[in-house]
Structures are given as structure tokens and as C-alpha cells.
Amino acid sequence: MAEVRLRKVESLLKEEISGLISRGVIKDPRLAPMTTITDVEVSRDLHYAKVYVSLYGEADARKQSVEALNHASGFIHAKLKKAIRLRIIPSLRFLADDSIERGVRLTNKIRDLNSL
């Protein structure tokens, strides 16, 4: 039962944070325009959450976007507190998710090997 609740909280956080980003609520110029929340992992006690972010652009721009999100984590936490009815809203930590880029590179390598 606890596992199901954890997944529901993760899904809810992902949806709400994605909405905040897409609606432009976070007005930091360092935030890349094509920022996507790919996953959220919440600790069992619901006090902490790792938020994985996929970003389009140069490595430096991606790093700045993650820094901007971590800088705005208190603001985002406050917005979540108003939007979500949970007793505990987890502290947020944003991390870059480069799995999509790795997948594209791997696909390109496979394509290159097949063309030999």
C-alpha cells in the first residue's frame, strides 16, 4: 500500500512541477525553454524528492538551468504547498537527466555500425 501511495505522490509532483515550468511561473532567465520533468523519486518518509530534468541545449546552459531550478526550489515548494493537499511536501532537489541524449547517441552508433 505504501508503495502505491509513493508512486501517486511522485506522479502528482511531476505533473504539478511540469505545470509550473510550462506556464512560466518560474521566471529565471537561466531556465532553458525546453525543460521537461522526466521523473520524480520521493523518499519513503516523503521528506525529500529528486526531480530529474531533461534539458535541450549546450552543456553550460543545461547546468545553469538545473542551478536555476535548485535556486527556485523554495519558491516551487511554496507553490506546491498551495496546489497539493498533502501533509508533507518534500524538499526538492533537481538533477539533470541525460538519458534521452545517451539514447540518441547509442541509436546513432548502432545506425553507424549497421551502415558499415
Q: Which domains does the chain have, with CATH numbers?
A: 2-114 (3.30.300.20)
Q: Exposed, middle or buried, 85 (CB in 10 Å: 0-12/13-18/19+)? A: exposed
Assign 2 a pLDDT band (cuts: 50, 70, 90): confident
**In this structure, which amino acid lies at residue 4?**
V
Distance between CA 51 and CA 10 in Å, rounded?
9
Q: Model confidence over 28-67: pLDDT tens digits?
A: 888 888 889 999 999 999 999 999 999 877 888 889 999 9
